[in-house]
Each structure stands twice: as C-alpha cells, then as structure tokens.
C-alpha cells in the first residue's frame, strides 16, 4: 500500500481539500488527485466524496481514517527506531502535565525543543488535577504519583520525594512539632482529594500520618504553586514534592518539618503513554529531550 498516498489521504481528510493537501506535500492538483484514486483502487473503496464545491469523507473513508493514521504512526516510529527521519519529524504533540512542575522545569526549556524540532507543535494541558490520558486523547502525560493503570506504559523521569514544611514565621507563632501526634495542634494545608500519607521515623520512633487521623485541615487546594505560596505566607504546614520547594528550603523561606520522618509514598515522576499506542517519533524525541534536560541530573538533586 502506498504510504505517501495514505499520507495524502489523511491530510486531505483533515483539510477537506485535496488540492491544498497536495500542495502541502509538494504535489500538483492533478498528481494529488491521481494518487488518491490509486489508493482508493488499492483499498477497493471510495474514501472521499468529491464535488465541484466541496470534499467530504465517505463512510468507508471515515472507517479507514484511524487505520491510516496508525499506519503513518507505525512508519514514523519504525524510522525513528532506526535513527532516520529525526530532522523532519512533524505533527502536533498533545502533552498533559502538572502545572506546578511544568512552570518550574518544562516551560523554560521549550524554546530549545522547538528549535531542535521545528516541525513539531505542542498542545499543552497543564493542571495539578489528574488527567485521564486515554479519554483525553493525549499522546503523553507527566504524572507524579504511582502508576496503577495496566492500560498504560511509563518511563521514569525522576524520583519524587515528599516532605513537610512550613514558614519560619508560622513555626515561631505556633511552635515546632516534634512527633506526628503534634500535628493535630497545627493548621494544615492539604491537596484536595489527596489521601493521607504514613509517616515513619527513620530510627524507629512513633509513626503517624499527614494529615493526622480525624484532623480537619483549614485549607485545601488543587494547585501546588498556590500551596507553596500559601505555606510561605504562613498559613500552616503542608506536604510538598521536594522538587517544588527545594529552592525555598535552600534560601530559608520554608523550613522542613519533622525532618527525622519519612513520608511513605510510592510516587515517582513518570512519562506515561497509552499501551495501545505506537511510540511515535514526535513522542520519542520529546521523551528523550525531557530525560536529557531534566531526568539525567534533576536540578533539585544537585
């Protein structure tokens, strides 16, 4: 089956214009029309309805379109696996990530990625709330928690250590907790809909949870950046990914709380894509780029 004919069909189906699709591929209108006719002969069906006024997908064309896209994805992935075609990788990459992580580590490096791959466009969905990768139609997503969905594949980008912290001013007013039980006497900020995490002493001291069982948190939110800012402002004690607060811990605007305790959590920072999807060239090069710029030597571990 003619790969270039399939490429032309997909583009024509997206644009609903055979001549424009042909021009995009450097083909004269007559050549584009002939190539599509040849593909229709090969598959034994009319894929597009043509008239003097418009082009539309036929029923058979609509059924064939997802398979055509998959064929192109397979071809692109095969070329990428062999090291070919990297210079002219094209397409729109739909990527979902934590807004907090993206603001700190992904947005600043996007210009370099776009310069390396001028044929790739990025469609970003940035939110600290969970995104359904498959239902959302994303090519790739970044998740900083444990991966449990068997329908997904993942590549680890970095570890994701969690810590408790508060502002020096808050601790000066309310005191420094020495054990998990002391947390019940403090104001806490928690991530909305987040489960309590077990706290275990590094040397066998009393265990506990954050937040403590039965305790009511005064503030909950669904944005990590806002949680960090509120914690710095003195609202209370919060649990944060170390990567999100390491600069503030370093400059003293936040102080680690219960440093002798470890938060038991299986989270890591993962790059996740649907198991059923081919790892296309555009996804492969973006994963490689993120690992190169972030995962090989995370800024928060230096």
CATH 3.40.50.10470 describes domain 3-81: no
Q: Where are the domains of the chain?
A: 3-81, 91-159+268-301, 162-264
Q: Considering only 22-26, 68-72, 76-80, 228-232, which range has the smallest mean pLDDT?
A: 76-80
The domain 162-264 is classified under which CATH number: 3.40.1010.10, 3.40.190.290, 3.40.50.2020, 2.60.120.260?
A: 3.40.190.290
Q: What is the pLDDT of residues 262-291, one digit of tens each?
A: 998 777 899 988 775 567 788 889 999 999
Residue 84 confidence (pLDDT) above 60: no
> What percentage of residues in the chain have a pLDDT greater than 70?
90
Q: How confident is the model at residue 157, as a pLDDT?
A: 92
Distance CA 163, CA 66 (A): 45
Which conformational region is residue 162 in: left (phi greater than 0), alpha (psi within -120 to 50 degrees), or beta?
beta
Residue 131 confidence (pLDDT) above 80: no
Range among 21-30, 166-175, 198-207, 282-291 rated most confident: 166-175
Q: How confident is the model at residue 146, as a pLDDT?
A: 59
Are 91-159+268-301 and 162-264 the same fold in CATH?
yes
103 DSSP assignment: I
Averaged pLDDT of the chain: 86
Q: What is the pLDDT of residues 63-82, one digit of tens each?
A: 888 888 878 877 776 766 66
Show the beta-strand stretches assigned E in the chain: 48-50, 55-57, 91-97, 120-126, 140-144, 152-159, 162-166, 188-191, 197-201, 208-210, 219-221, 237-241, 255-257, 261-264, 268-274
Q: For the domain bounded by 91-159+268-301, which CATH number is listed?
A: 3.40.190.10
Structure-token pair, residue 35: 């190539």
Estimate to the nearest angstrom the gap between the alpha carbon of 40 and the chain centroid: 38
Q: pTM higher than 0.75 for the full model?
A: no
Residue 132 confidence (pLDDT) above 80: no
């Amino acid at each position: 089956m003619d790969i270039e004919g399939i490429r032309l069909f997909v583009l024509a189906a997206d644009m609903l214009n055979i001549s424009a699709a042909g021009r995009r591929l450097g083909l004269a209108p007559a050549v584009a029309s002939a190539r599509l006719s040849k593909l229709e002969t090969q598959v034994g069906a009319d894929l597009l309805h043509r008239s003097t006024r418009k082009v539309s997908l036929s029923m058979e064309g609509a059924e064939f379109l997802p398979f055509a896209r998959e064929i192109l994805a397979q071809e692109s992935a095969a070329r990428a696996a062999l090291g070919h075609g990297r210079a002219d990788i094209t397409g729109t990459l739909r990527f979902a990530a934590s807004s907090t992580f993206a603001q700190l580590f992904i947005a600043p490096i996007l210009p370099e990625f776009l310069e390396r791959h001028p044929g790739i466009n990025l469609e970003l969905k940035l939110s600290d709330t969970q995104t359904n990768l498959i239902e959302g139609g994303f090519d790739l997503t970044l998740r900083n928690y444990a991966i449990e969905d068997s329908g997904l594949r993942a590549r680890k980008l970095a570890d994701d250590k969690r810590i408790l912290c508060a502002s020096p001013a808050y601790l000066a007013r309310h005191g420094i907790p020495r054990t998990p039980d002391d947390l019940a006497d403090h104001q806490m900020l928690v991530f909305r809909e987040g489960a309590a995490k077990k706290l275990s002493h590094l040397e066998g001291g009393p265990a506990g949870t954050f937040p403590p069982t039965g305790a009511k948190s005064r503030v909950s939110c669904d944005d990590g950046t806002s949680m960090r800012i509120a914690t710095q402002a003195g609202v209370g004690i919060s649990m944060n990914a170390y990567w999100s607060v390491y600069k503030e811990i370093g400059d003293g605007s936040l102080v680690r709380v219960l440093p002798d305790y470890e938060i038991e959590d299986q989270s890591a920072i993962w790059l996740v894509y649907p198991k059923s999807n081919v790892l296309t060239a555009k996804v492969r090069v973006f994963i490689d780029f993120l690992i190169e710029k972030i995962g090989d030597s995370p800024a928060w571990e230096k």
